[in-house]
Structure 1
Amino acid sequence: MSSTLQDLVNRAVFYSTEVQTHFGALIADAEWEVDFSSDPHLTFTSTEGAVLRTRPHLLGSESGREKTWLWGWENVNDFPDAVVGLSHEVRKFGAAKDVSELTTPELSLDEELALRLTLASKEATDKWAHYPAAAGAGTTVWLLVDAAEIALPAPQVKVSVRALMQGLTQTTVTDHRAAIEAYVARRGIPTAELPEGGLRMLFADGSADLSFDDQRRISNCDLNAPLEGEAAEQYAAAETTSTPAEAAAASHATDSTSAPAAKDVAAPPASTPATPTPAQTEEAAPTESVPDEKPAAEAAPAPEAQAEEAAEPAAEASDAARGQQQQDERLLGDGSVEPAETDTPIAEEPSKGAKPKKKGLFSKLFGR
């Protein structure tokens, strides 16, 4: 059965957003070092000395000079299979689904392409954390990341609503309803149908009632916490009627980011200010109520803190507000670390602005 790149983006965007926010909280203010040897690893070291070692998979690279994306499976730098092997799985998936963007070695860049290819690759590989790292000479290397510590906790209503609203600012989402259905299935969140085509998401700590317009876009989100009334009855019924297979699926959804801890690469440092992949103002935002909040990349509080801020119903994001977000903020993990200025392995120096950049080091020159 064939798919399109947009179909894959729709299915991946919300779950990816929640994982990236969680991941970014783990590595906030950390310095990183990546090694693309036969034992690839990316290590994050906090100012307190805590270390997170992750297993990186080189997905592809974007060149600011050449304005192109090059897939890792093309392997012009002759990296070991341990580094580029997962990118071959993406190519095979793309061939099976007839998605040409996943099987064409080099693509012309646009502002969203690297993120959209990364989202599609997450859907293809079930690896849900990523890290875009500066490799020098205007090249950004996009990595998928494994680490047991990235596993998400049980779903919470405010955290999930925040993931939906932030996800819509990252890239074009053409079918909000399909995107939510993919998210709740992967996350193991029970749902109930509402009148006029609405959908209720059910959580142990509350519920969220979503309305859609005639183009299947979110038009309103009514968040209720704690869980009570009809929603509490529906949640209890869903819990008692779930089959063993459904329970296993829910467990998998919660643990799907917890591949064995091992090497490199993580979501972009939470405090690195930069522009997110541009949002599409006409299609990506709910027509009524997306909260005008700072993206997670700006502060990256822990999920519990984020949950407290997500209680407001979704509020409409205007073109002007969305444009300001694109200029001043980056949603966690969805843009590149600022490129280095030389061709040599880099150690980024603090910027002259208020916030220091994270130091990054490649142990092998990336020649792209």
Structure 2
Amino acid sequence: MSGNLTLANVLDDAALLSFEHQMHLSEVLGEHSWNVNIAERRFEFRCADRTLVCTAMHLLGSAAPGPQSWLWSWANPTGYPDEVTAVAKSVRDFGSQQGIPELASAEVPFAAFGEDVEPHQVSWTMMELAKPITGHWTSYQGPAGSGTFVAFLVEHPELQLPPPSGPRVIRVLSQGIAELALTDHRRAVHSYLTRRGLSVTFKPNGESLYFEGDAVNGTVDFDEYGRMTGISGGMQG
């Protein structure tokens, strides 16, 4: 990511890889509850048959309905440990470098994201924005009382994605494009495929791209407006 980035660009960069990580998170956890102790830097998922204790957790911030604003963790007067706010600070530094005030300002009004947005929507947006900047791709948000939502990025070996396969890549592209609000399909698809370690080649006119990896290859087609119109693919021998 470089040069005159907008929030929409960053969200497109995040969208499909984030979508796959959240799919994987749901598959690993199944029905679950969660618990966090920020002072002890402990985040755990309590599943039906076990408790998965995350190896790291990063507190991004909170979205509160009272002030109608998002507050980054590094600016919270509670004074959270540096270890849990370091990733949020890296987002702040990126925002300062790129001139994106929503990432660099301590507190961001809900109005910056549109009219009549809810705390969980703002919290989700901030998690998505943080992912391609920090390289941490598994997120979790939950209620913290009084309508406030708190947002985390979490880590655990079981939450890392397996190598890309043909059926999975095609599912992520087709389902993600259908369900997510993307500004630039070409950018989102290219970002996803390259971040999954696949080689990507656009046709000169940009009407399609070819992707290839050790176990998967395929083609994605776009219309004259840059919208994805078709995808085909399979497994490499």
Change (3 A) 1:224 1:127: closer
Q: Return the offset for 1:85.
A: 2.1
Q: Is 1:177 equivalent to 2:178 in the alignment? A: no
Residue correspondence of structure 1 range 116-155 to structure 2 within 5 A? 116-155=125-164
Contact kept, 8 Å, 1:43 with 1:54, in 2: the verdict is no
Does the 8 Å CA contact 1:4/1:98 hold for their aligned counterparts? no
Matched, 1:210 2:230: no
**Cα separation, 2, equivalents of 1:41 and 1:137:** 23
User: C-alpha separation between the residues in 2 aligned to 1:115 and 1:157?
Assistant: 28
Instruction: Measure, in 2, the Cα distance between the counterparts of 1:118 and 1:47.
Output: 26
Consecutive unaligned residues in structure 2, runs of 5 or more: 111-116
Q: C-alpha distance in 2, partners of 1:50/1:35?
A: 15
Q: 1:22 is matched with which residue?
A: 24
Distance 1:98 1:195 in 2: 32
Could you tell me how far apart the structure 1 residues matched to 2:203 and 2:80 are?
52
Tell me the secondary structure at the aligned position of residue 154 of structure 1.
coil
Q: What is the CA–CA distance in structure 2 between the aligned matches of 1:51 and 1:116, rounded to whole Å?
A: 25
- In 1, the alpha carbon distance for the partners of 2:175 and 2:77 equals 35
Q: Determine the C-alpha separation between the residues in 2 that align with 1:33 and 1:218.
A: 39
2:168 to 136, 155, 159: 159
Contact kept in structure 2, 1:213 and 1:219, CA below 8 Å: yes
Query: Which structure has greater strand proportion?
Result: 2
Whole-Å separation in 1 of the counterparts to 2:9 and 2:202: 23
The separation in 2 between residues aligned to 1:89 and 1:71, in whole angstroms, is 11
Question: Quick one: distance in 1 between partners of 2:68 and 2:177?
Answer: 25
**In structure 2, what is the Cα distance between the partners aligned to 1:226 and 1:189?**
13
CA 1:166–1:141: 2 relative to 1, 3 Å: farther
Q: How does 1:79-98 map to 2 (within 5 A)?
A: 79-98=80-99
Distance in 1, Cα, partners of 2:179 & 2:85 = 26
> Which whole-Å CA distance do the structure 2 matches of 1:165 and 1:131 have between them?
24
Residues 166-175 or 74-83, more deviating? 166-175
2:20 alignment partner AA: E
Whichever residue aligns with residue 216 of structure 1, its letter is: G
Give the Cα–Cα distance (whole angstroms) in 1 for the partners of residues 55 and 142 of structure 2.
14
* Equivalent residues of 2:74, 2:80 under 8 A apart: no
In structure 1, the residue matched to 2:50 is 49
Larger radius of gyration: 1
2:198 maps to which residue? 189
Q: 1:253 is matched with which residue? A: none
CA contact (8 A) 1:17 1:166 kept: no
The within-5 A match list for 1:249-260 is: none
Aligned length: 226
Residue aligning to 1:106: 107
Distance 2:229 2:36 in 1: 43
Distance 2:189 2:150 in 1: 29
Displacement of 1:204: 4.9
Distance 1:170-1:9 versus aligned 2 partners, 3 A rule: farther
TM-score, normalization: structure 1?
0.57
d(CA) in 1 for partners of 2:55, 2:179: 25
Deviation at 1:127, TM superposition (A): 0.7
* Shift in CA distance, 139/148, structure 1 to aligned 2, threshold 3 Å: same
Please give the TM-score of this superposition, normalised by the length of structure 2.
0.85
Q: CA deviation at 1:117?
A: 2.1
Q: Percent identity?
A: 29
1:12 lines up with 2:14 in the alignment:
yes
Root-mean-square deviation (CA, aligned residues, Å) is 2.2
Letter of the 1:10 counterpart: D
Structure 1 residue 57: deviation in Å?
0.8
Q: 1-side partners of 2:53 and 2:175: how far apart?
A: 26
